Structure 1
Amino acid sequence: MGSIYLDEEAWLNEWNARQERKKHLVSCIKCLYDSETPNISFDSAGLCIYCQKDDELRIQFPGGEKGRSDFEKIVEEIKIAGKGKKYDVIVGVSGGTDSTYMLHIAKEYGLRVLAVHFDNTWNTTIAQQNIKNTLKVLNFDLWTYVVDNNEYDDIYKSFFQASTPDLEIPTDIALAATLNMAADKFGIQYIFEGHSFKTEGMAPLGWIYMDAKYIESVHSEFGKLPMRTFPDFSFSKQLKWMLFNRLKKIRPLWYLDYDKAAVKKMISEKYGWQWYGGHHLENRITAFYHTYYLPRKFDIDMRTLGFSGRIRSGQMPREEGVRRLSEPPAFDKDLFEMVLRRYNYDQVEFERLMLLPKKTYKEFKTYKPMFEKLRPFFYLMAKANLIPWSFYIKYTAKDNI
């Protein structure tokens, strides 16, 4: 039998074997999480801890008229803070569904937007065109930060060597830093983020962990080039932006009702937006990460998050989620070849990397112990919208993996 990393028939056989094994796991009665999900537990009725947390968040962020009213109050605060300035709010853009809809919402509420994009040099043509088309219709300005591609490739190659499931976190951290950098540069206090726990859930620790110290730790061990253009999101910078700049992170989709299928149709008609095949797949390295790296090496299928979120929201029948997860993620062989060419890996070297012993973030230096000690402080920061609630819930809690 061939390698599951290089031979598609071997991979399909392995996938089918995994599906048979998963049939014997304990699963949540509501969502698609099972007993192999990190840090999971179930109540007496069989409801998982993640669904219970989701229920708690829905009390705090109920949507409907209450959610819209709460969001409208925030919009008024944003307009007051923006008086005398060129922009009211920053919206991070990727060309994806959520960020495009954030632009639409901002325009609908009469906000003056600076769109901000972090270019990790892996954008798809569709994503670039989506950004261009939407901003042209809305007449919003764009500020882009581009990282040096050789330096960025070196960071990614370091994470291949580290052999943790967090290969893609440099983009998430760099985007967060870029949004803050733009807010600092242009004197903007509010930032819209496109995350929706109602349609995409929150990734369990053990599937994904991220912080800037973690990236530095991995890169210091395995990297070869200095990190000169990678955006700085050190804890000292985070404190500055949080406490002195008072940058507020707002997630409109936590307040507003969000039917993703209807939104896709609307933005396609209104802005010429095009679908790119799946959640987070508007970026090539992210697509590789979701459709190849995570499922094949770590048996992590990130579709579970989005499908579970939509099931909890009543936007997808559980049976449909089960059926779709039984099929392997759609994979683009040309993308696989592109990754190997760009990182100068032959198949032998790539397979060696994929066969390295699996590690977790706990085997590297991170801010996690400090985040846990400062949990009460971060609770206050989340209450003030200075950090996202998801950061407080995930990163300051004890991790049992």
Structure 2
Amino acid sequence: MILDAELERAGVRVCSRCIYDERVSAISFDEEGVCNYCRQIDALKEQYGTGTEAGKRNFEAIVEDIARAGHGKRYDCVIGVSGGTDSSYMVYLAKEMGLRPLAVHYDNTWNTAISTQNIRKVLSALDVDLYTHVVDNKEADDIFRSFFYAGVAEIEASTDLALAETMYRAAAKYGIRYVLEGHSFVTEGITPVGRNYFDGRYISAIHSRFGRRPMRSYPLMTFERFLWWSCVARIRKIRPFWYLDYGKEEARAFLEREYGWEYYGGHHLENRMTAFFHGIYAPTKFGADFRNNTLAALARTGKLSRAEAWAQYNTEPAVEDELLAYFKKRLELSDAEYDRVMAQPPKCWRDYPTYKRRFERMRPLFALLARANLVPMSFYLKYCFPVSD
């Protein structure tokens, strides 16, 4: 109540259950003051039975399907790993459930030493093989630089899409039918599209306009490849934490105790480009702080009070010493050039070609694919519906 009175005085409307405020993309509030994103989480919990016996049974049935599909093969599932909490714990969970995972990593050449060591420690302890695609570092930097010059927020979008493509390629190479992803809508929500959009056409269009080098080693996922993986190869994407009772803090403590895993200081900060995006780029150029995704989730689940979450949200993000200097050096930007680009008006993904309208037109198909776990349900919910400005 104290927080609500404080916000009322400041003239900011905030969800009565989490800390998403009126500045969040496409937000709305019901008569109880609860935002549409909290209601979306409620609906997903009911749909997947998250954290209940029914959810656990549903996931156990999926595990049986995975083992059956992988019978006689070296691996029965693929797990993308970053050295972060969720993906590291996912590897442990798969082994605990009797599966034979192949860990897959897309190396954008901006990993921290901590993330690299975390991957090594967990996979070595669990005797899990690693498949890695390393992009040419100059090529990766050229893509990042292109997005910086484009003036859009999604400076690290190329990493997320490349990891998805790399996991598909690894699955196809070894005849694997299932990909396990360490995402939890309970602990981190489903990020509103807003300034968080990416697809293969978007990446290609921006790089074509602002890039200096050809994309040769970068694993671009085009629309055609996306449909191939989903409709022809029929590689299923499963998110176990959508079914199970999963807590990030408990998982982190377990990893530290069992494997000597090391925390890297914050959500998604195991990669230096991601750290630059969250700590410097998004807050400075776009006035956006994506910590609200995790903090809102902590408030929803009662791990933090709304007042505590709001207070943390209004502190300065933690930024590694020399991170900005490292960014400028890697992308060959002078101080003056960096300042010039940062001072330009922000642009949006709508200013460049994307597949967004195509996804919307094909919404009935993607609804079927999402229900069959052939595309992530979060993709369907975020990308297949029109987004208000």
Same fold (TM over 0.5): yes
**Do structure 1's residue 41 and structure 2's residue 38 form an aligned pair?**
no
Q: Deviation at 1:316?
A: 2.1
The question of whether the paired residues in 1 share the 8 Å contact of 2:7 and 2:13 is answered with: no
Q: Secondary structure at the match of 1:117?
A: strand
Matching residue of 1:12: none
Q: Secondary structure at the match of 1:301?
A: coil
Matching residue of 1:165: 153
Q: What does residue range 222-371 of structure 1 map to in structure 2 within 5 Å?
A: 222-371=210-359
1:268–1:156 Cα change, 3 Å? same
Which of 125, 128, 132 is matched with 1:144 structurally? 132
Q: Deviation at 1:239?
A: 1.0
The question of whether the paired residues in 2 share the 8 Å contact of 1:88 and 1:112 is answered with: yes
The question of whether the paired residues in 2 share the 8 Å contact of 1:212 and 1:233 is answered with: yes
Matching residue of 1:82: 70
Q: How far apart, in 2, do the equivalents of 1:161 and 1:21 lie?
A: 38
Matching residue of 2:162: 174
Q: How far apart, in 2, do the equivalents of 1:21 and 1:117 lie?
A: 46
Q: How far apart, in 2, do the equivalents of 1:106 and 1:315 lie?
A: 26
Q: Secondary structure at the match of 1:144?
A: strand
* Cα deviation digits, residues 328-352 of structure 1 (max 9, x gap): 1011231111111111111111011
**Do structure 1's residue 71 and structure 2's residue 59 form an aligned pair?**
yes
* Cα deviation digits, residues 20-51 of structure 1 (max 9, x gap): 99932111111111111111111111111111
More divergent stretch after superposition (226-235 vs 60-69): 60-69
Which of 81, 95, 114 is matched with 1:107 structurally? 95
Q: How far apart, in 1, do the equivalents of 2:100 and 2:304 lie?
A: 35
TM-score using structure 1 length = 0.94
**Do structure 1's residue 195 and structure 2's residue 183 form an aligned pair?**
yes
* Cα deviation digits, residues 1-30 of structure 1 (max 9, x gap): xxxxxxxxxxxxxxxxxx999932111111
Q: How far apart, in 2, do the equivalents of 1:393 and 1:243 lie?
A: 19
Q: Deviation at 1:118?
A: 0.3
Q: Deviation at 1:298?
A: 0.5
* Cα deviation digits, residues 306-339 of structure 1 (max 9, x gap): 1111222222221210110121101123111111
Q: Secondary structure at the match of 1:276?
A: coil
More divergent stretch after superposition (33-42 vs 22-31): 22-31
**Do structure 1's residue 125 and structure 2's residue 109 form an aligned pair?**
no
1:193–1:368 Cα change, 3 Å? same
Q: How far apart, in 2, do the equivalents of 1:56 and 1:64 lie?
A: 14
Q: How far apart, in 2, do the equivalents of 1:196 and 1:226 lie?
A: 36
Q: How far apart, in 1, do the equivalents of 2:154 and 2:308 lie?
A: 28
**Do structure 1's residue 183 and structure 2's residue 171 form an aligned pair?**
yes
Q: How far apart, in 2, do the equivalents of 1:107 and 1:66 lie?
A: 22
Q: Secondary structure at the match of 2:322?
A: helix
Matching residue of 2:42: 55
1:330–1:21 Cα change, 3 Å? farther
1:22–1:391 Cα change, 3 Å? farther
Matching residue of 2:208: 220
State, as a whole percentage, how many aligned pairs show the same letter.
47
Q: Secondary structure at the match of 1:233?
A: coil
Matching residue of 2:3: none
More divergent stretch after superposition (31-40 vs 73-82): 31-40
- Equivalent AA in structure 1 for residue 288 of structure 2: I
The question of whether the paired residues in 2 share the 8 Å contact of 1:213 and 1:365 is answered with: yes
Q: How far apart, in 2, do the equivalents of 1:309 and 1:67 lie?
A: 20
- Equivalent AA in structure 2 for residue 74 of structure 1: I
Q: How far apart, in 2, do the equivalents of 1:388 and 1:312 lie?
A: 23
Q: How far apart, in 1, do the equivalents of 2:242 and 2:248 lie?
A: 13
The question of whether the paired residues in 1 share the 8 Å contact of 2:106 and 2:166 is answered with: yes
Give the total of aligned pairs.
383
Structure 1 unmatched ranges of 5 or more: 1-18
Matching residue of 2:141: 153
More divergent stretch after superposition (315-324 vs 347-356): 315-324
Q: Deviation at 1:284?
A: 0.7
Q: How far apart, in 1, do the equivalents of 2:246 and 2:57 lie?
A: 15
Q: How far apart, in 2, do the equivalents of 1:28 and 1:249 lie?
A: 31
Q: How far apart, in 2, do the equivalents of 1:40 and 1:167 lie?
A: 23
The question of whether the paired residues in 2 share the 8 Å contact of 1:259 and 1:315 is answered with: no
**Do structure 1's residue 94 and structure 2's residue 82 form an aligned pair?**
yes
TM-score using structure 2 length = 0.96
Q: Deviation at 1:224?
A: 1.1
Q: Secondary structure at the match of 2:132?
A: strand
Matching residue of 1:384: 372
Q: How far apart, in 2, do the equivalents of 1:22 and 1:133 lie?
A: 50
Q: Secondary structure at the match of 1:333?
A: coil
The question of whether the paired residues in 1 share the 8 Å contact of 2:230 and 2:374 is answered with: yes
Matching residue of 2:13: 26
The question of whether the paired residues in 2 share the 8 Å contact of 1:242 and 1:386 is answered with: yes
Q: Secondary structure at the match of 1:225?
A: coil
The question of whether the paired residues in 1 share the 8 Å contact of 2:109 and 2:135 is answered with: yes
